[in-house]
C-alpha cells in the first residue's frame, strides 16, 4: 500500500505579498510560463495574495521596491534554476522557494553534480566531460571507445531534455555535438543505461527531507524528449510505479541521499535509470525547480501520496527562506 503524507497546516494570510517568478530568458521559458501559471492559480485559489512576475520583462529590483514578502520560483534553466536569481534574492533579503545559491548552481551543472555524487559513492553513469578546447575530431572519436555505444551526448547546463542525443554509432557524433554545443560550449558524454526511466521528487530539508512516490516513465520508442515530455499524450506515467516495494524504497533512499549531498532544500526531483540487466539504479540529474505543468511529474507523485496540487504549492511557498537562515529556522517537514 502506498504511503500518504501529511503536510503541516499553512496560513495563507501569514505568507504576505507573493511574487511567482515565471518565464525568464532560458531555453525553457515556454515551460516556465506553464508552470508559473499553474502555481499562480493554485496559490490564489488558497487565498494567497500572489502576482505573476516575469524577469524577462521586469527589473528584479521591483520585487524589493514593490514590497514583496516572498517569492515562488517557477523559473526553469539558466538565470532561474542556476543560483543567479537565488543570489539576487539573497541580496534583497526576500525569502524564496527551493534550493539556495550553491545547491542550485551545482545541480544545474550536470558534470559538477556527477562529480559530487561520485565522491560520496552514489551511483551515476560513467561520463566524459569535454570543454570547448577539447572537442577535436580525434578526441571525440575516442569517446565511444571509453564509454561504449550507444552513448548520450548532452549540454551539461540545460534541462527538459534540450540538446540531448542518443548516439548509436560514430557517424552520429558530429550532429550530436553540433546540437549540444548550440546550448553550451562544454560537452557531457554519458554511458547509456539500458533499462527503465524513473523520477522521484523530494520535499523538505535536512533530516526532514522525504521522497515522494517514484514515477515510472514509458515513452514512445523509449524517446522521452522535450516534445514527449510536455506536448503529447503518448508517454505513459505509472504512479504507483509498479516496482517491487523494496526496490522503490531503495530508489527513494538513494534519491534523498543525492538531494542532501547537493545541499538541496525545499523541494527537488531526481531523474534516474534502472539498468535492466541487474536492476541497478543510476542517478542522472537533480532538478531544483521542477516543472509544475499539466504533464509534470512532481504534482503527479504528490497526488499519489495524498497531496493536492494546491496543497503542494502552498506548502512549498511556506518553506521559502534565505541561505543565512535556512540552517537555523525551525520548520516542520512532511510526515509519512
Please give the pLDDT value at position 232: 56
Please give the pLDDT value at position 222: 58
Distances (CA, A) of 231 to 77, 161, 225, 281, 296: 18, 13, 10, 28, 11
Please give the pLDDT value at position 300: 97
The grid coordinates listed for 83 are 543560483
- The mean predicted confidence, pLDDT, of the chain is 93
Shortest CA distance to 260 belongs to which of 88, 71, 159, 116? 116
* Identified catalytic residue from 230, 259, 309, 315: 230
Q: Is 12 helix (H, G, I), strand (E, B) or coil?
A: helix
To the nearest whole percent, how much of the chain has pLDDT over 70? 93
pLDDT at 1 over 60: no
* Identified catalytic residue from 160, 289, 296, 318: 160
Please give the pLDDT value at position 119: 98
Q: What is the per-residue pLDDT across 7-48, written as a single tens digit (0 to 9) for each? A: 999 999 999 999 999 999 998 899 999 999 999 999 999 999
- 230 assigned to active site: yes
pLDDT band (50, 70, 90) for residue 230: very low
For residues 206 and 197, what is the distance between their CA atoms, to the nearest angstrom?
26
- 291 assigned to active site: yes
- The 10 Å CB-count burial string (b at 16+, else e) for 140-150 is beebbeebeee
* Identified catalytic residue from 29, 70, 216, 269: 269
- 259 assigned to active site: no
For residues 1 and 21, what is the distance between their CA atoms, to the nearest angstrom?
37
HSE toward the beta carbon, residue 92, CA cutoff 13 A = 22
Q: Cβ distance 296 to 290 under 8 Å?
A: yes
pLDDT band (50, 70, 90) for residue 197: very high
pLDDT band (50, 70, 90) for residue 235: confident
Per-position DSSP letters for 29-71, written without gaps between them: HHHHHHHHHHHHHHHHHTT-EEEEE-TTTS-THHHHHTT--EE
pLDDT at 327 over 70: no
- 81 assigned to active site: no
pLDDT at 116 over 50: yes
* Identified catalytic residue from 186, 197, 285, 323: 285
**Which of 1-5, 65-69, 179-183 shows the lowest per-residue confidence on average (mean pLDDT)?**
1-5
Helix 101-108 / helix 84-92 crossing angle, nearest 10 deg:
170
pLDDT at 111 over 90: yes
Q: What share of the chain is helix, strand, coil (3-state, %, to 5)?
A: 40, 20, 40
The grid coordinates listed for 250 are 531503495
- 269 assigned to active site: yes
Please give the pLDDT value at position 269: 98
pLDDT band (50, 70, 90) for residue 202: very high
Shortest CA distance to 247 belongs to which of 223, 217, 278? 278
Please give the pLDDT value at position 2: 67
Count the Cβ atoms, other than its own, within 10 Å of residue 301: 27
Q: Which domains does the chain have, with CATH numbers?
A: 12-98 (3.40.50.20), 107-123+194-326 (3.30.470.20), 127-191 (3.30.1490.20)
The grid coordinates listed for 300 are 503527479
pLDDT at 225 over 60: no
pLDDT at 330 over 50: no
* Identified catalytic residue from 291, 301, 309, 323: 291
* Identified catalytic residue from 196, 271, 315, 323: 271
Who's near 49: CB < 8 A, 6+ residues apart?
15, 16, 17, 18
Better-scored residue on pLDDT, 224 or 253: 253
- 28 assigned to active site: yes
Q: Cβ distance 222 to 193 under 8 Å?
A: no
Q: What is the per-residue pLDDT across 151-170, written as a single tens digit (0 to 9) for each? A: 999 999 987 678 999 999 99
By CB atoms closer than 10 A (0-12, 13-18, 19+), residue 67 is exposed
Amino acid at each position: 500500500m502506498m504511503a500518504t503524507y501529511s503536510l503541516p497546516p499553512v496560513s495563507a494570510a501569514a505568507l504576505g505579498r507573493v511574487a511567482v517568478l515565471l518565464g525568464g530568458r532560458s531555453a525553457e521559458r515556454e515551460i516556465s510560463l506553464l508552470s508559473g501559471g499553474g502555481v499562480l492559480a493554485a496559490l490564489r485559489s488558497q487565498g494567497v495574495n500572489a502576482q505573476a512576475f516575469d524577469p524577462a520583462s521586469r527589473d528584479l529590483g521591483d520585487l524589493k521596491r514593490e514590497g514583496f514578502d516572498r517569492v515562488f520560483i517557477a523559473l526553469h534553466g539558466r538565470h532561474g534554476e542556476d543560483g543567479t536569481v537565488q543570489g539576487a534574492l539573497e541580496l534583497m533579503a526576500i525569502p524564496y522557494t527551493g534550493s539556495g545559491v550553491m545547491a542550485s548552481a551545482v545541480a544545474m551543472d550536470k558534470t559538477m553534480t556527477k562529480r559530487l555524487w561520485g565522491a560520496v559513492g552514489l551511483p551515476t553513469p560513467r561520463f566524459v566531460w569535454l570543454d570547448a578546447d577539447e572537442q577535436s575530431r580525434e578526441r571525440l572519436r575516442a569517446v565511444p571507445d571509453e564509454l561504449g555505444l550507444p552513448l548520450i551526448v548532452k549540454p551539461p547546463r540545460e534541462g527538459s531534455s534540450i540538446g540531448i542525443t542518443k548516439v548509436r554509432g560514430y557517424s552520429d557524433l558530429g550532429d550530436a555535438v553540433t546540437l549540444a554545443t548550440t546550448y553550451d560550449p562544454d560537452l557531457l558524454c554519458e554511458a547509456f543505461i539500458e533499462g527503465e526511466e524513473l523520477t522521484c521528487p523530494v520535499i523538505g530539508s535536512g533530516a526532514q527531507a522525504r521522497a515522494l512516490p517514484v514515477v515510472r516513465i514509458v515513452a514512445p520508442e523509449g524517446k522521452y524528449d522535450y516534445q514527449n515530455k510536455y506536448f503529447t499524450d503518448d508517454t505513459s506515467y505509472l504512479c504507483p510505479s509498479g516496482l517491487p516495494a523494496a526496490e522503490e524504497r531503495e530508489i527513494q533512499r538513494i534519491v534523498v541521499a543525492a538531494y542532501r549531498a547537493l545541499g538541496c532544500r525545499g523541494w527537488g526531483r531526481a531523474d534516474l535509470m534502472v539498468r535492466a540487466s541487474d536492476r541497478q539504479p543510476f542517478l542522472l540529474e537533480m532538478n531544483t525547480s521542477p516543472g509544475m505543468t499539466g504533464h509534470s511529474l512532481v504534482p503527479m507523485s504528490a497526488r499519489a501520496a495524498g497531496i493536492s496540487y494546491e496543497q503542494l504549492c502552498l506548502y512549498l511557498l511556506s518553506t521559502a527562506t534565505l541561505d543565512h537562515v535556512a540552517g537555523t529556522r525551525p520548520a516542520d517537514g512532511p510526515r509519512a
